[in-house]
Structure 1
Amino acid sequence: MKKITLSIAVAAVMSVTSLFAQSVEQGKKFYYYERFNSAKAEFEKALASNPNDVIATYWLGQTLLELKDTAGAKALYQKGLTTSNNAPAMLVGMGQIELNEGKKDDARQRFETALNLTKNKDVNIMAAIGHAIVDSKAGDAQFVIEKLTPVTQAKDFKSPEVWTVIGDAYRKLGDGGSAVQSYQKALNIDPKYAGAEYRIAKLYMTQGNKDIFLPALEQSVQMDPGFAPAYYELYYYWFNRDINKAKDFYEKFMAVSDPNPNNDYEKTSIIFASGNYDNAISTAQGYITSQGDKADPRYYKLIAYAYDAKKDSVNAKSYLDQYFAKQKAENFVPKDYAFKAELLSKFPGNETQALQAYEQAIAADTSKTEKLELMNSAAGLSKRLGNRAEEAKWLGQIYYTDPKSTKTDLYNYGYAYYQAKVYDSSVAIFGKYKELYPEEIYGYLWSARSYAAIDTTMANGLAVPDYQKFVEVAKKTDSVKMKSLIIQSLYYLASYSNDIKKDKDAAIGYLQQVVALDPTNTDATQIIEKLKKPAKQPAAAPQKKATGNSGTSTKSSGGHTAK
């Protein structure tokens, strides 16, 4: 009888232990899907049954960090260190907290201790350390690569998570190629590991390469229909492109994600994107009224966008001002500042603040593609405001930021400075144009015009070499198409030769080129005739009678002695 009782007891314990394990595994799965509230509930369930479960404690701490409860995670790991006698997982968790606090040496020591305790063989601990380091601004990504890569060479290695963390480390270092290779290796181990495919998509999103990131996002949800983050990115991509597609992806996202106050905001956003601006305004105002101070500040922004779409700039600005007053600084996105800039530009006297808003937008953005779009918008706004120097500044940033910059971009950059009358800068930029494109006319032409604007009297002849080179290159390029510009340049050179250098022959030579290009040009012909005429000798001055006995004689104005 005792034996039977004991067997029942053992079975009961094993059953409970199995349930604990199921809760932890289910919690980890929810965490992977970014369903953090569901993950938190599972880990808390496991800890309620076994408060000393180190793995459940570690993952609950990770979940709290994702839910922005850093204080809760820190307290949990501090307690876990004591109750578990410095278990490796607790050392990693606490090291992550310290790394985020800027205590890099303390964190490094905890990570090294955890590695030593597990003899560098526990793949889960190594992946946890890698995640902690990569996820922190102060983390040393190279350390992750050096520590984790050797582990992947083991015969029994089967962890897509480790390869994913290595990929994250490479991405943090800016090595996108190695990052993609690492994610692909994770997929080789587990072809349904959507997290790796999703990361490939996110990497190419930063490059604006939709030909790769869109199929990768779609592939990730085909691999795992429960992978909510990919559905959300697809919804977000299509939001401003095809609201029906966006709505479909958002419904799929909702089906596999946790209930969240953000869901109400996104639903309201879909109403706005559908063009039903009045309904979007009233819906957002309803949430603001019902939720009071707890209302998502983005409702104010959404209302501002709706009023702007209705051409009501006054109300749009009012609600956007409220959004900026209520939103936390870390939650602003670059387009918030861009929208602010465009709204401010509609109110005279706010031009400076509008351009400063673009500065903030670009400083906040990390995507090169987004930065370039914002810079172009800032340049466009500057031009509309008549601030050509500010436009030139932005065009310069675009030229030096965009690897695909062309000679047209360089020309626009220099021309904006010319229009702004900042001639030293336009000279420098068109000087670069001449260097890069010596067979093109525009560098010589606008360098010459810039120098001419500096040397207005022609006294220093600054523009002469560029005008001469322009004429030479333009004639080779297309003397018929460029005829008027060539003639203008030849007139300039003729004036300089005659008026400054006093070289009539050179002036006549330039004017003869004008006539050769345009035989009907009577002005050039008449000037040539005048220049060819011999200079008139000045008339001799009348002699003056000598007075007294001075005995001196006078000279004519022409310098001849009067007899």
Structure 2
Amino acid sequence: MKNAKVLSLLLLGLSTSVFAQDLDQAKKAIAAEQFDKAKKILKGLVQSNPDNGKNFFYLGDVYLAQNEADSAKMFFQKGLTAKDKGTLNYIGLGQLDLDAKNAVGASANFDKAASGIKKKDVDELLLIAKAYIKSENPNYKKAIETINKALLIDDKNAQAYLLLGDAQYGNNNVNEAYSAYRNAYDADNSLLLAKMNMAKITKNAKAFDVAIKSFDEIVKLNPSFGPVYRELAETYYFWATSEPAKYNEYIQKALANYEKYMSLTDYSIESRMRHADFLILAKDYKALEKEANEMKKLDNVNPRIYRYLGYAAYENGNFAESSKALTEFFAKVEPKRIIARDYLYLGLTKMAEAKKADGTYDEKIFNEGVVELNKAVEKDPVIATELNPIGTKMFKEKLYKNAARLFEVAVKNPKSKNYVYDYFYLGYALYFDYNEKTSPKEQLVKADEAFSKVIEAWPTSQEAYLFKARVNEQMATPESKMAALSSYEQYVKVLEAKDEAEKAKPANKKGLVEALTFVGAHYANSGDKAKAVENLQKLLTVDPANEYATKTLKALKA
């Protein structure tokens, strides 16, 4: 009996030790973003040791990290019944409440998890803080408050400082975040995530060369630490976009590092999706289409895969495939998961499909595309900046009606870098598309408003005054003729202030002849002899052979 009792205790100790090792391995896999490996370990632990709630919590947490809320909730709820540490699962349920914007429910679940904490135990507090940080609706101040409670109990806890760094950074306290990460790394030099996060702060400050040096140091410390290669990839990408002269060199380094990152993960759907997101940034659409098709073999249900297929097919010129994939995506995705770029690609795909063999558009389908583009810009105004090259191409193809529709969407973001040019092209397109017999007068009114916007933002642009004058002249009402006069006069005034090289340009000389002819004729007809003579003499200076100016001046002097 005595020997049996000793053997039983030994086996108990052994199983506890094995469990701890397995859980540590799962945590390391999660840190390395090897999510499928972590799930495999944790599912084994759930089966072999169902009395320990930690197994269920960490398994649910992996699913939560992969945006699989239903699976996460199922394991958290099962974990509540575990005899040991079952209350940890209230933390997972609390994060789900936060994601659903149910702060009261989240707080109640966190209180349940914390109710049985031993006096010197900080694990629950840190996991609650992590939930506040990682939620889709984070509360960084609550996270900081909770972490500080843990640090009062254990002021050397490296994980606490790591989380404090995340919370401070999320709360826009960059210096405090950097300091917290440094404290985490000082407390535990094996915590490469802390060192990596310090380098990320440097990267975000656009000190790309310094950040890359720091990431390379991490590679030397542990060449198998996958996440650092992803950070290197993203750093080279941002460096490439900030230095166009070295774009190709840096983007190739970015792609190579991301491939290295992928080789060190378990090619889970989540890792592949992050890869796909990066390929979109890097504009490698051939690789994106290949990756999306590989994902589709593994999971034919996940809507995001159809997003990637739709984006890639459009960029690769396969518009029918793009339409098919995006239609599938919108049918399957939760509305809250739709992003502005989804509407953008749906709109662009419809426009591409609307283009007929003769180069013109099926207006019905084209306008359906415009509706989607409006949704995109409403959801994220920054999207408007991407419409300029598409609209400009239509304009150059003399598809003025369609270009105008596109630029009407583009100008909805006054902070766009193309804002002034978009209004220029909107005015141009409306003006050149105008047909006196078939177009509504409202079209000229819109063109006038567009050029007024340009003048407001760029008062020294003579071109805007010239076209504003032409638009008002074409309106042919007493009020519009006076507006045309004023605009022509401003055109002359602005151009006269420019240097001789600018005045000598053929387009500007032609514009001056047009403007001075209109102004001179107006004053001659209205009886203001002095102003008529002044402007007609200027006209002869620009165009000495101008017959109208010569005859009119002669008549005025008679």
Q: What is the aligned counterpart of 2:429 among 415, 419, 431?
A: 419
Deviations along 1:281-322, one digit per CA (max 9) or x if unpaired, are: 9x999998x88967999589769957985xxx6xx3443343
CA RMSD of aligned residues (A): 5.0
Q: 1: CA distance between counterparts of 2:194 and 2:347?
A: 32
The 1:7–1:241 alpha-carbon spacing in structure 2 relative to 1, beyond 3 Å, is farther
Q: What is the aligned counterpart of 2:518 among 487, 492, 504?
A: 492
- Alignment partner, residue 265 of structure 2: 257
- Alignment partner, residue 92 of structure 1: 91
Q: Any stretches of 5+ residues in structure 2 without a counterpart?
A: 241-246, 432-442
Kindly report which structure 2 residues correspond to 1:513-552, keeping only aligned pairs within 5 A, or say none.
513-533=538-558
Q: 2: CA distance between counterparts of 1:121 and 1:382?
A: 68
The 1:427–1:131 alpha-carbon spacing in structure 2 relative to 1, beyond 3 Å, is farther
**Following TM superposition, by how much is the alpha carbon of 1:194 offset from its aligned partner in structure 2, in angstroms?**
4.7
Given that 1:304 and 1:319 are in contact with CA atoms closer than 8 Å, whether structure 2 keeps it comes out as no
- Alignment partner, residue 527 of structure 2: 502
The 1:303–1:458 alpha-carbon spacing in structure 2 relative to 1, beyond 3 Å, is closer
Q: Does 1:329 align with 2:336?
A: no
Q: 1: CA distance between counterparts of 2:300 and 2:232?
A: 31
The one-letter code sitting in structure 2 at the alignment partner of 1:375 is L
Q: 2: CA distance between counterparts of 1:110 and 1:73?
A: 15
Q: Does 1:125 align with 2:124?
A: yes
TM-score scaled to structure 1, two decimals? 0.71
- Alignment partner, residue 434 of structure 2: none
Q: Does 1:470 align with 2:480?
A: no
Q: Does 1:401 align with 2:408?
A: no
Kindly report which structure 2 residues correspond to 1:431-442, keeping only aligned pairs within 5 A, or say none.
431-442=452-463
Q: Does 1:189 align with 2:169?
A: no
The 1:97–1:435 alpha-carbon spacing in structure 2 relative to 1, beyond 3 Å, is closer
Q: Judge which range, 446-455 or 57-66, deviates more.
A: 446-455
The 1:233–1:455 alpha-carbon spacing in structure 2 relative to 1, beyond 3 Å, is farther
Q: Judge which range, 32-41 or 214-223, deviates more.
A: 214-223
Q: 1: CA distance between counterparts of 2:160 and 2:69?
A: 24
Q: What is the aligned counterpart of 2:368 among 321, 328, 353?
A: 353
Q: 2: CA distance between counterparts of 1:296 and 1:432?
A: 41
Identity among equivalent positions (%) equals 22
**Following TM superposition, by how much is the alpha carbon of 1:429 offset from its aligned partner in structure 2, in angstroms?**
4.9
Given that 2:392 and 2:403 are in contact with CA atoms closer than 8 Å, whether structure 1 keeps it comes out as no
- Alignment partner, residue 410 of structure 1: 420
Given that 1:455 and 1:462 are in contact with CA atoms closer than 8 Å, whether structure 2 keeps it comes out as no
Given that 1:284 and 1:303 are in contact with CA atoms closer than 8 Å, whether structure 2 keeps it comes out as no
**Following TM superposition, by how much is the alpha carbon of 1:341 offset from its aligned partner in structure 2, in angstroms?**
4.5
- Alignment partner, residue 538 of structure 1: none
Q: Any stretches of 5+ residues in structure 1 without a counterpart?
A: 534-563
**Following TM superposition, by how much is the alpha carbon of 1:477 offset from its aligned partner in structure 2, in angstroms?**
1.7
Q: 2: CA distance between counterparts of 1:423 and 1:457?
A: 15
**Following TM superposition, by how much is the alpha carbon of 1:475 offset from its aligned partner in structure 2, in angstroms?**
1.5
Q: 1: CA distance between counterparts of 2:263 and 2:129?
A: 31
- Alignment partner, residue 22 of structure 1: 21
Report the secondary structure of 1:420's partner residue: helix
The 1:123–1:306 alpha-carbon spacing in structure 2 relative to 1, beyond 3 Å, is same
The 1:453–1:322 alpha-carbon spacing in structure 2 relative to 1, beyond 3 Å, is same
Given that 1:378 and 1:394 are in contact with CA atoms closer than 8 Å, whether structure 2 keeps it comes out as no
Q: 2: CA distance between counterparts of 1:65 and 1:524?
A: 79
More helix by share: 2
The one-letter code sitting in structure 2 at the alignment partner of 1:329 is V
The 1:121–1:502 alpha-carbon spacing in structure 2 relative to 1, beyond 3 Å, is farther
The one-letter code sitting in structure 2 at the alignment partner of 1:401 is K
Query: What is the aligned length?
Result: 508
- Alignment partner, residue 379 of structure 1: 391
**Following TM superposition, by how much is the alpha carbon of 1:127 offset from its aligned partner in structure 2, in angstroms?**
3.3
The 1:227–1:428 alpha-carbon spacing in structure 2 relative to 1, beyond 3 Å, is farther
Q: 2: CA distance between counterparts of 1:509 and 1:262?
A: 74
The 1:527–1:432 alpha-carbon spacing in structure 2 relative to 1, beyond 3 Å, is same
Q: 2: CA distance between counterparts of 1:142 and 1:224?
A: 33
- Alignment partner, residue 558 of structure 1: none
**Following TM superposition, by how much is the alpha carbon of 1:253 offset from its aligned partner in structure 2, in angstroms?**
3.4
Given that 1:168 and 1:179 are in contact with CA atoms closer than 8 Å, whether structure 2 keeps it comes out as no
The 1:359–1:194 alpha-carbon spacing in structure 2 relative to 1, beyond 3 Å, is farther
